[in-house]
Amino acid sequence: MAGRIVVGIDGSQQSGNALEWAVARARLGGQQLELVNAYDLAPAFDFYGYHGAAAGPPVDWFIEFSEQVLDAAAARVRELAPGLTCILTSNMGHPAHLLAAASEAADCVVVGRRGLGSAASVLLGSVSNRLTIQAKCPVVVVGEGEIPTAGPIVVGVDGSDFGTNALRYATAEAAVRKTSVRAVAAYDFLHPAFTADPELIERMRADLEAEAAGTITRALDESKGADPASVNVEHVAVEGRAAEAILGHADDAQLIVVGTHGKGLIRRVLLGSVSRQVLNDADRPVAVVDLPDS
């Protein structure tokens, strides 16, 4: 049975980029596409006890607009890949909630980094941000500009279950794309107390680098289904903060993969700081991978 890739469509250029990324990925893996557009009516309000709704176009206008946006997206899919099966889903509600519901049993959900109204947005768009928390499958966030089609898949590994699952996903993607994986593990040094002893500094740095490299090796061993014989995995242990280390080694990547959280997870409420920074700063598609449902 073919898999399914869900794509958020809102009529923005960035959702168009997400669509084109999803089409290319579906052509590689044989998945069908589900294009999802959410529409909402004028917001209800409660103003000092007065309940009402702001005036706006009739419901039929929203439905017609939603269907037209999806039809335009489906036409683009037919141009790019006439053989792909394409399902169109138009519903009323918040796009993040509808996409999260559609993510059940999907291979991945693909969205633009920001949607309509992105000019006023400073941080990651609200839909993509919410999805990384709510989705039941990996979330791929695609920004503006040219989408890379060659190069390795770069993944952050930190010794946590989230990093190990991110590596598992990266390896599977590399096998489909017939490319390699660059696994990056970062270690942070230097403590000011050791600045007066250069020899001790170098010994400690070497130990930390070896420990970071070992983190990648252990994660590979724990990644069920990862096949080093078919996918080449480059081990990169680098000094510095994790997000900067991942981005610094992703200039030639076609995809960056991070876990929703890393070490120090307390509870699953907000996206981890490393994955959030990578999402905000990356200039290429980023896949955010959670732990599999137990």
Domain ranges, residue 33: 4-142
**Can you give the pLDDT at residue 121?**
35
Evaluate whether residue 124 is within a structural domain. yes
105 shares its domain with 229: no
123 shares its domain with 219: no
87 shares its domain with 29: yes
131 shares its domain with 164: no
Strand arrangement, sheet containing 86-92:
86-92, 32-39, 4-8, 108-112, 139-142, 286-289, 255-259, 153-156, 181-187, 233-239
Query: Residue 240: which CATH number?
Result: 3.40.50.620
Q: Where is the domain boundary, 142, 171, 195? A: 142
**Can you give the pLDDT at residue 145?**
84
**Can you give the pLDDT at residue 171?**
94
Residues 6+ apart with CB under 8 A from 286: 140, 141, 255, 256, 257, 258, 278, 279
- Averages of pLDDT over runs of 10 residues in the chain (294 residues) are 88 92 96 92 57 62 90 96 95 91 95 60 59 90 91 93 92 94 83 62 71 78 64 90 94 95 49 84 94 70
**Can you give the pLDDT at residue 99?**
94
Q: Where is the domain boundary, 142, 167, 201? A: 142
251 shares its domain with 184: yes
pTM above threshold 0.75: yes
138 shares its domain with 195: no
Q: How many helices and strands, by DSSP H and E, does the chain display? A: 8, 12
Evaluate whether residue 294 is within a structural domain. no
Q: Where is the domain boundary, 85, 120, 142? A: 142
d(CA 162, CA 156): 10
10 shares its domain with 135: yes
71 shares its domain with 180: no
Evaluate whether residue 44 is within a structural domain. yes
**What's the structural domain count of the chain?**
2
Residues 6+ apart with CB under 8 A from 83: none
Q: Is residue 147 within 8 Å of residue 285, measured between CB atoms?
A: yes
Q: Kindly state the tokens that stand for 67.
A: 């269907």
118 shares its domain with 201: no
